[in-house]
Chain A
Amino acid sequence: MFEKALVGGRGYWAWMAALGAVVCAGAWNYGVQLQAGLGVTGLSRDITWGLYIAQFTFFVGVAASAVMVVLPYYLHDYKLFGRVTILGEFLAISAVVMCGLFIVIDMGQPSRLLNVLRYPTPWSMMFWDMLALGGYFVLNVVITRVTLEAERTGAAPPRWIRPVIVLSIPWAISIHTVTAFLYNGLPGRSFWLTAMLAPRFLVSAFAAGPALLILLCLGLRRWWPLRIPREAIASIAIIVTYATAVHVFFVLLEMFTAFYSQVPEHVSHLTYLYAGLDGHGALVPWMWTSAVLAVASLVLLLVPATRMRDGTLAAACAAIFVSLWIDKGLGLIVGGFVPSPLGAVADYVPTWREWSITAGVWAVGAAMVTGFFRITASIRAEDR
């Protein structure tokens, strides 16, 4: 079925070529990073994880969010999502590939990547994260292959695929939980040391991922084979609404715990993020933008009139996606490292090379989503 992604008009190929250029630029800069070391990034002795791991954390959430359309359809026979589940699963595959690329790009010795499998370490959460993400990738590849093949031939999918799909539901939850476990088991990082991290990750994933899915569905409505019924999009919008509401609530909970208890270790990280500390405040405008976008998105989603209109729905989804990209990305990672264990405060500013490499990985993900959606559209077109 891959040959269907090789068919397209000028617009399609222009888009793929643009993505290809971004990928090439990113690959070139990654070559520089391989030669010179991670010193070409803006990372430092005190802030050792930054843009790459931030992207990894955010896109694991996007990958896990497929469960929000898979669960209602396969467990509760919610027929409205019938045409959407495969799009969610394709988004998940692309997101998992991006996550894997971000991990490899962040490693100091990527040629030794297989050491994680050669020397299995069950007490390290990173070991389980690799297994969970790898397994989720395989699951979704199998599921999409089988269900899309079934759509193409018009026959019912084989019965054994159903337990595999049902397995992907708790597996999706587990990939994001184990990613949260990477952070919230570290005794020295008080910003992350909260049991709330896993629920926060899941809730924000269930807002950001389906929001992206809605944006893709709305944007591709012209492409009639991928046209998703309005009611389905409306249902997904309700999921995004409640997830956004709970996410905003969880952020406020963190604020209360820190600022009411006044424990310096809790207060200092949030102060750095939202107000700046010791003259350093590079992330302050970002965090407030994230907050404003989240609230604006929530308002637009809660009001039925704006939620049900395509234009305002798209704006709300874009707003919450960007808001969470900031909050769960750089906000989460850099906030954990500043102040340092010795109380040092510094800013982290990604270098242009870092941005280029990151954009290259985004472009890989976008190309995969484009290709997968093209294949799906092609198969659905043949149905008619």
Chain B
Amino acid sequence: MTPGRRRFLRVTGAAAVAAAAGAALGCAAGRSRSRRLGFAIDAQRCASAKGCLDCIRACHRTHNVPDIPDAGHEVKWIWKEPFDRALAVDDPQILTPALRGLPVPVFCNHCDNPPCVRVCPTQATWPRDDGVVTIDAHRCIGCRYCVAACPYGSRSFNWVDPRPYVRAPPSDYPTRSRGVVEKCNLCEERLARGLRPACVEACAERAIIFGDLDDPASDLRRALANRYAVRRKPELGTRPQIYYLI
């Protein structure tokens, strides 16, 4: 090899390594944040044990979520799970008899480190700078990789055309088509109009507290300061943004 060629390869190789290192550092630095939206759910205030489904009805009505009778094909953005199933808590100090089995609302945690985003091959789901993990239904190819990746079972796939199962008249929010994935979108269309999420507003017991986790003055942070809170599967490193107040 001539000296010229050797030098060229050296420079190119060094440049490639530098670029890769820069890219890696850029990724590691994390994304820019405007807010960090999250929730606190007060299990003791939640009246679901008495049969209240207000948050679910409000969410599913607002977003035209279909009501499919076949349980295997159901689509749900928010639903109730027994406390000890939603949260892997078996400490008797925390899991009092009152809490055990108490149904609490569960929905997408809008994780700070979402595995569903990491796996999507088309960037049809991504985290916004305010923390909302959102889906572009136009781009989703329906591979269901994100459904496999979600450790919480928050995502639903449209196995059939949902339109016949959407309660008429539909709200203005677009329905989805068969063959795409959907989940709680943190009412981003309501947030854009300065409104609070539908579930938060619908809850008469004010059991769902919403706010900016990065704002120390928010109701959310004040609620978290006073009560012990747990999150779902924190050991997985997903950094979920829904806190369940004990």
Contacts and interface: CB of A to CB of B under 8 A. Distances in A.
Direct A/B contact, Cβ within 8 angstroms = yes
A121 B115 CA distance: 14
Task: Give the one of B75, B118, B141 with max A CB within 10 A.
Answer: B141
Contacts of A185: 118-119
Given A48-B144, A107-B141, A342-B81, A126 B121 contact: yes
A123 B118 contact: yes
B151 A188 contact: yes
A112 interface: yes
Interface in B103-151: 106, 115, 118-124, 139-145, 147-151
Contacts of A107: 141-143, 179
Contacts of B179: 37-38, 107-109
Nearest to B179: A108
A337 to B, nearest CB: 8
Contact of A108 (B149, B151, B153, B158): B158
Interface stretch (A15-23, A39-47, A354-362, A367-375): A39-47
Contacts of A346: 72
B66 to A, nearest CB: 12
A46 B153 contact: yes
A108 B121 contact: no
A112 B121 contact: no
A49 B86 CA distance: 23
Interface string A300-328: 00000000000000000000000000000
Contacts of A48: 144, 147-148, 157
Interface string A339-364: 01111001000000000000000000
Contacts of B115: 186-188
B119 A125 contact: yes
Interface string A21-57: 0000000000000001111000111101100000000
A1 interface: no
Given A108-B180, A341-B153, A342-B81, A126 B119 contact: yes
B148 A39 contact: no
Contacts of A123: 118
A207 B141 CA distance: 34
B236 A188 contact: yes
A260 interface: no
Contacts of B74: 45
A64 B120 CA distance: 25
Contacts of A38: 142, 157, 159, 178-179
B233 interface: yes
B43 to A, nearest CB: 16
B142 A115 contact: no
Contacts of A292: none
A112 B160 contact: no
A49 B141 contact: no
Contacts of A46: 72, 153
Interface string B51-91: 00000000000000000001111110000010001100000
B122 A36 contact: no
A367 B149 CA distance: 35
A113 interface: yes
Contact of B73 (A44, A189, A337): A44
A108 B118 contact: no
A112 B122 CA distance: 10
Contacts of A130: 121
A49 B124 CA distance: 19
A124 interface: yes
B236 A187 contact: yes
27 contacts: A36-B161, A38-B179, A39-B160, A45-B71, A45-B72, A45-B74, A45-B157, A48-B157, A49-B148, A108-B144, A108-B158, A108-B180, A109-B179, A109-B180, A110-B142, A112-B140, A116-B121, A121-B123, A124-B145, A126-B145, A185-B118, A185-B119, A186-B149, A186-B151, A188-B149, A336-B148, A337-B148
Given A37-B179, A123-B118, 11 more contacts: A43-B72, A44-B73, A49-B144, A107-B179, A108-B141, A110-B142, A124-B120, A130-B121, A182-B145, A342-B85, A342-B106
Closest 3 CB pairs of A and B: A108-B142, A188-B151, A108-B179
